[in-house]
């Protein structure tokens, strides 16, 4: 049954049975045993989502508890409440028959994971909604499956965090890594050191009551909350209120720009550790998770090297360089956390053999080799390298990034130290309006990589399953789909957005750190309402056209002229021509809109380039049709040079936006040119790789 192919993450085993379980107003959910709050609220959410998706008025919209009637439609049973901790059991089993369904789990965490799978099974036919009869057994591959949300660079209100927690639960992610402090802001209320949040923000921070609210909300969804307080670097916001912590005299001002700053706390003063012990004692009481993330990344050491007091401290303690001084600082910080019964997580820069391996987790962000190095040294580790969502990389790149791929250099015991990974959503260029579209649905692909058996994770069918997941996530209140046309309307200043959407559907933001390079003047106050902010992280229209081109070219093998007689060829030829014609004409439709919408001026030439290269594609198809009919072509080097120049121009970003369909049209033009002209002239030199084109 098709719905079984849409499950994400893919379960360990799925065994179809005959029959279906119909959803009617009499559908009931029964909880066996003594259900706790997590199960009761999870079951209530399940029933509400089931009713909302089917439109059925359930006679019993709340779960039933003992004594249960024998004919409950879905019977849920688990053995114990789960501890919201690393390595807790999240396994579950589902049995759905024609008359009744069962969900069994060791813990209530497994129940929550099972609820999500059952809701993904919901489908319908002409007789109404139903669950297909099926047996499923499932458990996660990795125990640490996280999403980092940076709320320091750009503050994210509670409703943003809550809806993303709902999205995380839907795809079985289980750790919210909450990045709360950085150079730009200190986002958590401290009652012990109130100037941290008073002076370290522009007034936007989370009160301790709000933090407890988020922790409770996450708990009911089986998600741990691990806070990050970045030290000793990325601390410009710390020293605004407490300059005595700094390693340089200042004066210090709020940091509004991005990049690595010099500010670093002073590790040579005992007062620093007394401050940090009091601060972490307060935070340890606020955040119940065993782990606290201390950052530890991107300390350039400049202030330490320039401070005579710190240099003297280093000589007195045989610390040869900033790295060894940071290792000393980390050991002191580790002792503080250990005293508070907490364990330390840090970015891979903290890796040092003098830190006790049993209570440290290394988060690898610079490369995968640091993850393996940590494992060889006996440290637990999680992978984020290759999972940075803010770099606008394609889903396929994230999905194929297995934490254990090519890790055969590790022993079986060392591989067990790799706990999983985290998708990372850094927010230098992210607002509450755009964050959902930058996280989803790509984070769902990472979630599957971290949950499902490695052999189950293949690219085949992934796009279709992510499309289904996107709809389910939107149902939860995530804005990754609906905010796109709204942002286009604002850019146009009009309800008429068709021409702009046609262009932006084919665009993506520049990749990696290129936006920072191209826009160095950006600050936390820069508007995030431009075309680059509206453009999809992954342009599905461009991807579909690329697949169309590949399918068309495949019909021409091995004999282009003979193959061109098929119905498939004709249909694909017609579809490509229609698409290119739309794009060729689009600039004329968009030009009047641009004239009255100043924000669109920066992509005006991009629109013109789309029309130009689409026209080249149509020209090649015209010549191709003539060649098929053995008509003279009259092609010369000037025509080839026109292609080369046009594609090179179209490939250049404008307004930090790339026209990613360029590669697909270039591939079509190149292939047809080569078939018609043979080796008489080279192909266009700017054709992109398949990965870039997609």
Q: Is the dihedral of CA 106, 109, 112, 116 positive or negative?
A: negative
CA distance 593 to 603: 12
Of 490, 205, 160, nearest in space to 195 by CA = 205
CA distance 184 to 205: 12
The first and second tokens of residue 490, run together, are 């604002």
- Contact in structure between 209 and 172 (CB atoms under 8 Å): no
- Contact in structure between 424 and 387 (CB atoms under 8 Å): yes
591 given a catalytic annotation: no
- Bridge pairing between strands 360-364 and 343-347: parallel
Residue 573, C-beta contacts closer than 8 angstroms, at least 6 positions apart: 552, 564, 621
Residue 583, C-beta contacts closer than 8 angstroms, at least 6 positions apart: 502, 506, 610, 611, 614, 661
The first and second tokens of residue 535, run together, are 């453009």
Beta bridge pairs of residue 29:
74
CA distance 120 to 293: 34
DSSP 128: E
Helix (H, G, I), strand (E, B) or coil at 690: helix
Q: Is the dihedral of CA 9, 14, 19, 22 positive or negative?
A: negative
The owner of tokens 């499309």 is 467
Other residues' Cβ atoms within 10 Å of the Cβ of residue 402: 17
Burial level of 285, CB count in 10 A (0-12/13-18/19+)? exposed
Could you give the residue ranges of the DSSP H alpha helices within 519-559?
Answer: 531-534, 540-554
Other residues' Cβ atoms within 10 Å of the Cβ of residue 182: 29
- What's the angle, vertex CA 441, arms to CA 666 and CA 494, rounded to 5? 75
The first and second tokens of residue 252, run together, are 């210090």
- Contact in structure between 145 and 447 (CB atoms under 8 Å): yes
- What's the angle, vertex CA 659, arms to CA 654 and CA 665, rounded to 5? 145
Alpha-carbon radius of gyration of the chain: 28
The first and second tokens of residue 576, run together, are 């490509």
CA distance 577 to 552: 11
Exactly one of 282, 298, 514, 692 is catalytic; name it.
298
Of 191, 224, 200, nearest in space to 85 by CA = 224
DSSP 265: B
295 membership: H or E segment, kind and range = strand 291-295
Cite the active site residues: 298
């Amino acid at each position: 049954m098709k719905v079984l192919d849409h499950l994400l993450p893919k379960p360990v085993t799925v065994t179809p049975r005959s029959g279906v379980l119909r959803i009617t107003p009499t559908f009931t959910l029964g909880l066996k045993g003594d259900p706790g709050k997590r199960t009761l609220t999870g079951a209530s959410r399940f029933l509400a989502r089931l009713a909302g998706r089917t439109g059925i008025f359930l006679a019993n919209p709340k779960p039933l508890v003992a004594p249960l009637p024998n004919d409950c439609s879905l019977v849920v049973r688990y053995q114990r409440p789960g501890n919201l901790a690393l390595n807790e059991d999240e396994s579950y089993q589902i049995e759905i028959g024609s008359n009744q369904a069962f969900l069994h789990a060791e813990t209530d965490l497994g129940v929550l994971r099972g609820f999500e799978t059952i809701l993904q099974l919901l489908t319908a036919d002409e007789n109404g909604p139903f669950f297909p009869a099926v047996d499923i057994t499932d458990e996660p591959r990795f125990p640490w499956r996280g999403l980092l949300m940076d709320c320091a660079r750009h503050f994210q209100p509670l409703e943003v965090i809550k809806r993303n927690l709902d999205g995380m639960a839907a795809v079985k992610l289980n750790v919210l890594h909450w990045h709360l402090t950085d150079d730009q802001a200190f986002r958590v209320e401290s009652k012990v050191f109130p100037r941290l949040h008073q002076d370290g923000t522009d007034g936007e921070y989370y009160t301790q009551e709000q933090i407890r609210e988020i922790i409770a909300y996450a708990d009911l969804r089986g998600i741990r909350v691990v806070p990050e307080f970045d030290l000793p670097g990325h601390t410009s916001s710390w020293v605004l209120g407490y300059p005595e912590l700094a390693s340089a005299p200042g004066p210090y001002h709020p940091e509004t720009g991005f990049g690595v700053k010099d500010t670093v706390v002073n590790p040579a003063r005992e007062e620093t550790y007394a401050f940090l012990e009091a601060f972490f004692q307060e935070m340890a009481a606020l955040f119940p998770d065993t782990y606290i993330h201390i950052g530890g990344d991107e300390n350039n050491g400049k202030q330490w090297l320039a401070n005579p007091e710190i240099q003297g401290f280093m000589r007195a303690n045989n610390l040869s360089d900033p790295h060894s001084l940071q290792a000393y600082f980390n050991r002191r910080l580790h002792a503080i956390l250990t005293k508070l019964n907490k364990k330390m997580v840090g970015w891979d820069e903290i890796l040092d053999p003098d830190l006790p391996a049993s209570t440290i987790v290394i988060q690898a962000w610079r490369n995968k080799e640091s993850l393996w190095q940590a494992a060889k040294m006996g440290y637990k580790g999680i992978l984020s390298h290759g999972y940075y969502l803010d770099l606008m990389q394609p889903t396929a790149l994230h999905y194929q990034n297995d934490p254990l791929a090519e890790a055969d250099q590790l022993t079986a015991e060392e591989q067990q130290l790799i706990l999983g990974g985290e998708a990372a959503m850094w927010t230098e260029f992210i607002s509450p309006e755009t964050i959902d579209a930058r996280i989803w649905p790509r984070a769902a692909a990472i979630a599957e990589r971290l949950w499902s058996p490695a052999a189950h994770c293949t690219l085949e069918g992934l796009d279709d399953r992510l499309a289904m997941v996107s709809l389910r996530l939107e149902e939860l209140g995530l804005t990754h789909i609906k905010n796109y046309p709204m942002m286009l309307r604002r850019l146009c200043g009009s309800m008429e957005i068709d021409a702009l959407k046609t262009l932006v559907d084919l665009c993506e933001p520049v990749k990696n750190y290129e936006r920072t390079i191209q826009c160095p003047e950006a600050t936390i106050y820069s508007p995030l309402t431009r075309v680059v902010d509206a453009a999809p992280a992954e342009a599905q229209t461009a991807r579909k056209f690329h697949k169309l081109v590949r399918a068309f070219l495949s019909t021409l093998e091995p004999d282009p002229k003979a193959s061109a007689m098929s119905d498939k060829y004709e249909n694909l030829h017609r579809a490509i021509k229609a698409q290119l014609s739309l794009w060729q004409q689009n600039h004329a439709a968009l030009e009047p809109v641009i004239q009255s919408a100043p924000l669109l001026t920066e992509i005006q030439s991009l629109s013109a380039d789309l029309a130009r290269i689409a026209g080249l594609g149509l020209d090649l198809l015209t010549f191709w049709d003539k060649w098929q009919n053995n008509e003279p072509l009259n092609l010369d080097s000037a025509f080839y040079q026109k292609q080369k120049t046009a594609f090179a121009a179209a490939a250049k970003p404008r307004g930090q936006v790339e026209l990613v369909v360029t590669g697909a049209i270039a591939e079509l033009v190149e292939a047809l040119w080569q078939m018609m002209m043979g080796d008489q002239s080279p192909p266009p030199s700017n054709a992109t790789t398949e990965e870039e084109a997609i």
